[in-house]
Amino acid sequence: MPAKQYSEEEVFQLYLLFHDTFNYDPDTGSLTWKKVSKYHRNLIGKEVGTIHKTGYRIADFNGSKWRVHRICYLMYYGELPDIVDHSETDGSKDDNRICNLRDGSDGGNQRNTTSHKGATSPYLGVNWHTASNKWRAQIKTKGRKPHIGLFDSEIEAAKAYDTEARKYFKEYSNPNFPEETR
């Protein structure tokens, strides 16, 4: 569900509305109802939204569907970037603690991926190159897939990918071997 673009004034109005309607605890990530219509008083103090099949908590609010982590981010920081994403510290898309939310507008959220189902290698950025009969390492950045190199070993290719990922994506990199020193 793509995020709507909001003007500065609209973001400010949403900020005020959200603070009037919800309570957000940045330490626990809990977003609860503070103010509701007279027909929904039983919701006061209850968790906002339900878990969607994507894993994100979704809330119906004022006729629109909202990802709850976007509401939390706006309530805490007072701004609403194009993309708000989870830092994937624990892999949960429902962990809305502020320490787990970040501005993903720079594309960092796409860097937190893992190897795709059906790939020729379990390592991110590595695939089998049939023409050369070697393992190929490549990295996707800014819509391009620059070639890193061809390797005899799948692990060598994965380590080469890790080096480039750390160079391009810095703290947002998702290396195959995170325990290795940078």
- Which phi-psi region, left, alpha or beta, contains residue 55 (left: φ > 0; alpha: ψ -120 to 50)? left
Supply the pLDDT for residue 38. 75
CA distance 114 to 91: 11
Beta carbons within 8 Å of 121's beta carbon, 6+ residues apart: 115, 127, 128, 135, 154, 157, 158
Question: Are 76 and 119 members of one domain?
Answer: no
**Residue 134 falls inside a structural domain:** yes
pLDDT digits (tens, 9 = 90+) for 78-98: 888 777 777 755 667 888 888
CATH number of the domain where residue 81 is located: 3.90.75.20
Considering only residues 112 and 22, tell me which one the structure prediction assigns the higher pLDDT.
22
Beta carbons within 8 Å of 4's beta carbon, 6+ residues apart: 64
pLDDT digits (tens, 9 = 90+) for 53-65: 988 899 988 888 9
**Residue 179 falls inside a structural domain:** no
Domain count, the chain: 2
**Among the three residues 63, 82, 105, which one is the final residue of a domain in this structure?**
105
Q: What is the mean pLDDT of residues 31-46?
A: 85
pLDDT of residue 110 exceeding 60: no
pLDDT of residue 28 exceeding 90: yes
Provide the residue range defining the domain that includes 141: 109-172
Spatial contact of 115 and 176, defined as CB atoms under 8 Å apart: no
C-alpha closest to that of 125 among 20, 134, 135, 66: 135
- Pair of tokens at residue 44: 């006061």
**Residue 78 falls inside a structural domain:** yes
CA distance 71 to 85: 12
* Other Cβ atoms within 10 Å of 93 Cβ, number: 18
pLDDT of residue 2 exceeding 60: no
CATH number of the domain where residue 116 is located: 3.30.730.10
**Residue 180 falls inside a structural domain:** no
- Please list the alpha-helical segments (H only) found in the chain: 8-21, 68-77, 108-111, 154-169
Considering only residues 149 and 38, tell me which one the structure prediction assigns the higher pLDDT.
149
Considering only residues 110 and 102, tell me which one the structure prediction assigns the higher pLDDT.
102
Question: Are 95 and 116 members of one domain?
Answer: no
Mean pLDDT rounded to a whole number for the chain: 82
**Residue 177 falls inside a structural domain:** no
**Among the three residues 105, 127, 160, which one is the final residue of a domain in this structure?**
105
Question: Are 46 and 135 members of one domain?
Answer: no
Question: Are 16 and 47 members of one domain?
Answer: yes
**Residue 178 falls inside a structural domain:** no
Q: What is the mean pLDDT of residues 5-33?
A: 91
pLDDT of residue 109 exceeding 70: no
For the chain, give the percent of residues with pLDDT over 70: 84
**Residue 74 falls inside a structural domain:** yes
Question: Are 121 and 81 members of one domain?
Answer: no
pLDDT of residue 51 exceeding 70: yes
pTM of the entire structure? 0.58
Q: What is the mean pLDDT of residues 168-174?
A: 76
Supply the pLDDT for residue 121. 87
Length of the chain: 182
Question: Are 14 and 75 members of one domain?
Answer: yes
Question: Are 97 and 113 members of one domain?
Answer: no
CA distance 13 to 110: 30
C-alpha closest to that of 17 among 52, 86, 81, 66: 66
